[in-house]
Structure 1
Amino acid sequence: MVRNARFDLAVFGALALVMLITRTHSLSNVVHLPDTSLASFFVLGFLVRRAVAFGGLFLLGYAIDVIVIGWFGQSDFCFTPAYWMLVPAYGTMWLAGRFGAENLGERASALPAIAVLVTAATLVSQLFSSGGFYFLGGRFSDPTLAGFMPRLARYFPTTLYATLLWTGAAAGIVALLSVARPQLRAGNRK
């Protein structure tokens, strides 16, 4: 697909919108949508790859959390000094997206390898975010690896499900756009 500033802005805008909808849980009274954060960073790395976009999406996530906690009364239980472990967690997803784009491409035959890449990146990301929270967040007295493993086993499957769901949705949208707008298939010009 053609990569240009307009394309990058459109992708960033779409990812920001779905993050706003799912991260704030604004639709929770109607339907609970799984958080798109990890998938959003993977897709951003795959399609945009600009470091400034990573920073912008991270700042958006942070702003959403601050507003939801400060103004809308959501629990601040997860908002600890370990919050900054989200930088390497999201960075893992973004770098995995970049790696996938550069080494696997946008071919249908690459989908199984991309699914494995998303799964591995999600696990590493979960280790950073959940592990950081467990070991550095100050919410657990005497954290141990034995205490962390059941938490990982409990939360990783739903995180992986959400990440694969949203990444698959993004892949489907990209495929539909490339069929509907063949000029987008002109190749990566970045």
Structure 2
Amino acid sequence: MNVTQALAIRPAAVGLMLLMAATRFHHFGTAVSLPDASLAVFFLAGFWQSGRYLLVALLIEAGLIDYLAINQLGVSDYCISFAYAFLLPAYALLWQTGKYCGKQAMSTLTAVAKTLVWLVMAVSAAFFISDTSFYLLSDKISDMSWSQYAQGFVLYYPSYLGAAVMYSALPIGLLKLAKLLITPIRQTV
């Protein structure tokens, strides 16, 4: 693949970038906004076998959105600390796991279930990386005990996992359904 092919605009890539731009401003969502889709965006970017250029573009986009949200839209900078750098390996892990899952045949429900298990493991690991690094490196919670940290982890983890699974499972499920519907049509033609 040459540089021109790598940089070609792909509808799925644009869709993922728009999804992140539309949702990254609020982690959990509100009455007027959807929950953050960033974890799913990085997984799906890998799943659809995007190259490293899209990974880098998504990382830059995430940073720019955070910068604009904080400096232009008045979103709190509470989560910005030295731990912010640990989002890079967390997102790269999601992308790499998506890449692995995307190479697997999605021809059976067992294969789809395995992809879901990989997704849950990757989101869990990414959440652990980002949340634990924040606990260890942020000066904003230096007086928090491990017990309090564990309570917060248990409180926030389900919503992160739920949003990532929802945003990822929907397009993967629709893709699987489309393949199931198209296969009989091809066989009759």
Q: Do both share a fold (TM > 0.5)? A: yes
Q: CA deviation at 1:129?
A: 0.8
Q: CA deviation at 1:146?
A: 3.4
CA distance in 2, matches of 1:142, 1:113: 40
- Given that 1:82 and 1:133 are in contact with CA atoms closer than 8 Å, whether structure 2 keeps it comes out as yes
CA distance in 1, matches of 2:96, 2:33: 28
CA distance in 2, matches of 1:163, 1:125: 11
| TM-score, structure 1 as length reference | 0.82
1:109-148 alignment to 2 at 5 Å? 109=109, 110-142=111-143, 145-148=146-149
Structure 2 spans left out of the alignment, 5+ residues = none
Q: 1:124 to 1:149 in 2, by over 3 A?
A: same
CA distance in 2, matches of 1:150, 1:54: 32
> How big is the alpha-carbon RMSD for the aligned residues of Structure 1 and Structure 2?
2.6
Percentage of matched positions with identical amino acids = 28
Q: 2:70 is matched with which residue? A: 69
- Given that 2:7 and 2:53 are in contact with CA atoms closer than 8 Å, whether structure 1 keeps it comes out as no
Q: 1:167 to 1:142 in 2, by over 3 A?
A: same
- Given that 2:6 and 2:51 are in contact with CA atoms closer than 8 Å, whether structure 1 keeps it comes out as no
- Given that 1:135 and 1:143 are in contact with CA atoms closer than 8 Å, whether structure 2 keeps it comes out as no
Of structures 1 and 2, the larger Rg is shown by 2
Q: 1:107 is matched with which residue? A: 107
CA distance in 2, matches of 1:64, 1:90: 15
Q: 1:63 to 1:6 in 2, by over 3 A?
A: closer
CA distance in 2, matches of 1:69, 1:126: 22
- Given that 1:39 and 1:167 are in contact with CA atoms closer than 8 Å, whether structure 2 keeps it comes out as yes
2:157 equivalent to 1:156: yes
Q: CA deviation at 1:133?
A: 1.0
| TM-score, structure 2 as length reference | 0.82
CA distance in 1, matches of 2:46, 2:80: 25
CA distance in 2, matches of 1:93, 1:71: 29
Q: CA deviation at 1:29?
A: 7.3
State how many pairs are aligned: 177
CA distance in 1, matches of 2:35, 2:153: 18
- Given that 2:49 and 2:102 are in contact with CA atoms closer than 8 Å, whether structure 1 keeps it comes out as no
Q: CA deviation at 1:64?
A: 0.4
Q: CA deviation at 1:144?
A: 5.0
